[in-house]
């Protein structure tokens, strides 16, 4: 995991300040209505590195996206007194939105200079940016295409049992950009639901997680886990691609 402007993102800096950032995440999200001015709608922009040749595996890219979104939320700069705190809280306490874009070559390099955190998983790279109003997106990000490129579904095999698993509802046939936003929501929800000590351990592993597709039979078992309180689910607002209220991703904690 890296921040292009400052180098490697370290493990939790200390228990007290990490606990404060986790407590804010665990409070949930504002869910207030959108502002009258559409330019003031808050969103977290994300960028997926998808080179034209030798593109990454879809599952690894989604895992990188999920980790990068959570890393921004729990970064010291998003915490009390941090330089990112006002922008982060303005977003978190309103209606949560994420927008995933794609980049390659010089565009990817330029995006790395915008405030945010980059994560690499098995050669796949994604960067989540500090949230802000959609009317004030940095031009290096604004110019990046939101749709138009997708990746084939891959078969990565069984997930590491020591990692959380984010199960994507395969029946919804989401694009890679839509799925990236949804797994970003899922990593945040899961971290907020877990005890702070568990999330600290997760942070030491750079929020590494596994992303897998769930077929209808698996999804039925997973929804039972959600009902039993052993997993958390993302229910989409339905702005793009899927119907409002659709359950898009179910996050299952790591086995301990």
Backbone angles phi, psi at 118, to 5 degrees: -105, 140
Domain boundaries defined on the chain: 2-252
How far apart, in whole angstroms, are the C-alpha atoms of residue 235 and residue 249? 8
2-252: CATH class = alpha beta
Q: Residue ranges of the alpha helices (H) in 49-195? A: 58-73, 85-92, 105-111, 139-142, 176-193
Maximal CA-CA distance, the chain: 47
Judged by DSSP in three states, 199 sits in helix
Where does the pLDDT of residue 11 fall: very low under 50, low under 70, confident under 90, or very high at 90 and above?
low
More confident residue, 244 or 219: 219
Res. 157: pLDDT tops 80: yes
Q: Whole-prediction pTM value?
A: 0.93
pLDDT in tens, 159-210: 999 999 999 999 999 999 999 999 999 999 999 999 999 999 999 999 999 9
Res. 6: pLDDT tops 60: no
Closest among 250, 51, 217, 41 to 134, alpha carbons compared? 41
How far apart, in whole angstroms, are the C-alpha atoms of residue 63 and residue 210? 6
Across residues 99-125, what is the average pLDDT? 97
């Amino acid at each position: 995991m890296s921040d292009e402007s400052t180098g490697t993102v370290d493990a939790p800096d200390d228990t007290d300040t990490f606990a404060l950032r986790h407590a804010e995440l665990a409070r949930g999200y504002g869910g207030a209505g959108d502002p009258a001015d559409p330019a003031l709608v808050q969103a977290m922009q994300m960028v997926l590195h998808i080179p034209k040749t030798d593109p990454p595996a879809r599952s690894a890219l989604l895992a990188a996206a999920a980790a990068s979104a959570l890393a921004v939320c729990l970064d010291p700069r998003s915490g009390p007194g941090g330089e990112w705190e006002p922008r982060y809280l303005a977003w978190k306490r309103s209606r949560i939105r994420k927008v995933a874009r794609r980049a390659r070559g010089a565009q990817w390099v330029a995006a790395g200079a915008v405030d945010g955190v980059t994560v690499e998983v098995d050669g796949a790279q994604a960067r989540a940016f500090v949230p802000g109003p959609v009317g004030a997106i940095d031009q290096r990000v604004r110019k990046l295409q939101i749709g138009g490129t997708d990746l084939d579904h891959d078969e990565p095999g069984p997930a590491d049992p020591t990692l959380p698993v984010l199960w994507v509802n395969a029946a919804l046939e989401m694009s890679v950009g839509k799925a990236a936003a949804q797994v970003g929501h899922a990593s945040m929800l899961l971290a907020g639901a877990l005890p702070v000590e568990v999330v600290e351990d997760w942070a030491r592993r750079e929020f590494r997680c596994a992303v897998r597709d769930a077929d209808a039979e698996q999804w039925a078992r997973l929804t039972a886990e959600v009902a039993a309180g052993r997993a958390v689910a993302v229910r989409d607002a339905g702005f793009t691609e899927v119907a409002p209220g659709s359950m898009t991703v179910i996050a299952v904690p790591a086995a301990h």
